[in-house]
Amino acid sequence: MQTDALRQATPDEQFQEITRGTVDLHVADELKRKLGRSYDKGVPLVIKAGFDPSRPDLHLGHTLLLSRMRRFQEFGHDVVFLIGDFTGLIGDPTGKSVTRPALSREEVKANADTYKAQVFKVLDPARTRVRFNSEWLDALGTEGLIRLAAKYPLARMLERDDFKTRFREGRTIAMHEILYPLLQGYDSVALKADVELGATDQLFNLLVGRQLMKEYGLEPQVIMTGPILEGLDAKQVDGRITGDKMSKSLDNYVGVNESPDQIFGKLMSITDDLMWRYYDLLSARPLDQIAELRRGHFKDAKVALAREMVDRFCGAGAGAKAAADFEQRFAKKELNVAELPLHDVGLNGAASLLLSRVLVDAALAPSHSEARRLMTQGGVRLNGEKVTDPKGEVGAGEYVVQVGKLKAARLKVR
């Protein structure tokens, strides 16, 4: 069965699909050779991607890596979802300007459990090996750690951008931070990885793993990095997509645990140019299907993308229902009030509350300043009427509130 999956596409066809949206590829010819060998012998490649369980929630930006892993799975390869429960105790210093506080084992375990539950909204659980790097790093011991450290020069380690900057400016670099790339690299040795995936900011660490594999007499892994996903408000400027990265704090994200209507509506709000970038980076559709969508109407392509993402994160069939609901609520300017979420807001003895505060409490705006901005720009309606005064208040009663084009809810203020 594994051999059949490996041979459903030629090595060249696999190469075209799995390298889609790649930023760094070390080394393309090696990857082609590995794919050819796998195809000829019917032996899957070991594809490794490590996840530091420092945060419990995922959004589409986090799933870029998972989507690439899924493409490898579709071609029959052996995908290892590696949870860095040991290295999570250190904390990856990549891109940090100061030493990062270490997590406790309890925090790491809690985050890892949440993380693991969410990733199978993208990965096929039947074709995913979940491993924890404490399996081999706990057993490494002091002697093993010293032998590992002897295999990589300090001068090379200090070439990493964040270390180099902090060293030049006289800021602290703790010894445990120096060890982090070595431990991550040793994961590749332990798993005998053929390919390691990561984001662009992980390139140095991935190269350390490639070098360590050579030191241990193993065939070095191929390295593939992908971009960091721009948020929903990004636009094309001078032929390039420009904007902040997807982030919850910037309220420009799509969470994998959000409702079907929220995921669908948010993706329908993006520009046509950004939609094609999301197709390249997130969609599991083959390139020929995306090319066909490009020849059609932009709205049809956007609906197809939104449906695909909703189905992926909310279950098969959820995308079709979300599309129908969206068409009814927004394209036809209708609101099914009975189906809107209800938020209870307490006056706590006051006669009225600022509407901006109510919007934040009901999770309809990320902050008071953003709520006031939306009101000033005419983006808030209360019972169908625009509220443009940022100091507007509401008293006791029931209301239907709309925020922008995508958010609506019932409010019960009492």
CATH of the domain at 382: 3.10.290.10
- DSSP letter, residue 96: -
Instruction: Based on the fold, state whether residues 20 and 108 are members of the same structural domain.
Output: yes
Contact 50, 180 (CB under 8 A): no
- Do 377 and 287 lie in one domain? The reply is no
Boundary (domain end) residue, out of 296, 331, 366: 331
Taking alpha carbons only, the member of 331, 218, 199, 206 closest to residue 264 is 331
Report the distance separating Cα 31 and Cα 12, nearest Å: 10
Number of domains in the chain: 3
Please check whether residues 306 and 367 belong to one and the same domain.
no
Is residue 44 located within the same domain as residue 80? Answer: yes
Q: State the pTM of this model.
A: 0.69
Range of the domain at 263: 235-331
Do 252 and 386 sit in the same domain of this protein? no
Q: How far apart, in Å, are the Cα atoms of 82 and each of 130, 172, 235? A: 6, 29, 34
Residues 239 and 217 in one domain: no
- How buried is 348 (Cβ within 10 angstroms: 0-12 exposed, 13-18 middle, 19+ buried)? exposed
Q: Are residues 29 and 147 in the same domain?
A: yes
pLDDT tens digits, the chain, 414 residues: what are they? 455 778 889 999 999 999 988 999 999 999 999 999 999 999 999 999 998 776 667 899 889 899 899 999 999 999 999 998 888 777 655 554 445 566 677 887 787 788 777 888 889 998 999 999 999 999 999 999 999 999 998 888 888 887 888 888 888 888 878 898 999 999 999 999 999 999 898 899 999 999 999 999 999 999 999 988 999 988 888 888 988 888 876 778 898 988 999 899 899 989 899 999 999 889 989 889 999 999 999 889 999 999 999 999 999 999 999 999 888 876 666 666 666 778 888 888 888 889 988 888 887 887 778 788 888 888 888 887 888 888 888 888 778 888 876 678 888 888
* Longest CA pairwise span in the chain (Å): 76
Do 118 and 145 sit in the same domain of this protein? yes
Chosen domain end from 166, 191, 226:
226
Q: Residue 207 has which token pair?
A: 């190269």
Cis amide prior to 189 (ω within 30 degrees): no
- From residue 193, give the alpha-carbon distance in Å to each of 26, 44, 88, 197, 298: 14, 11, 20, 10, 40
3-state secondary structure of 338: helix
Query: How many CA atoms are closer than 13 Å to the CA of 77, on its beta-carbon side?
Result: 29
| Encoded tokens for 123 | 């990965």
Residues 252 and 219 in one domain: no
Q: Are residues 158 and 241 in the same domain?
A: no
**Residue 97 shares a structural domain with residue 35:** yes
Same structural domain, 222 and 319: no
Pick the last residue of a domain from 175, 209, 226.
226
Handedness of CA 194, 200, 202, 206 (dihedral sign): positive
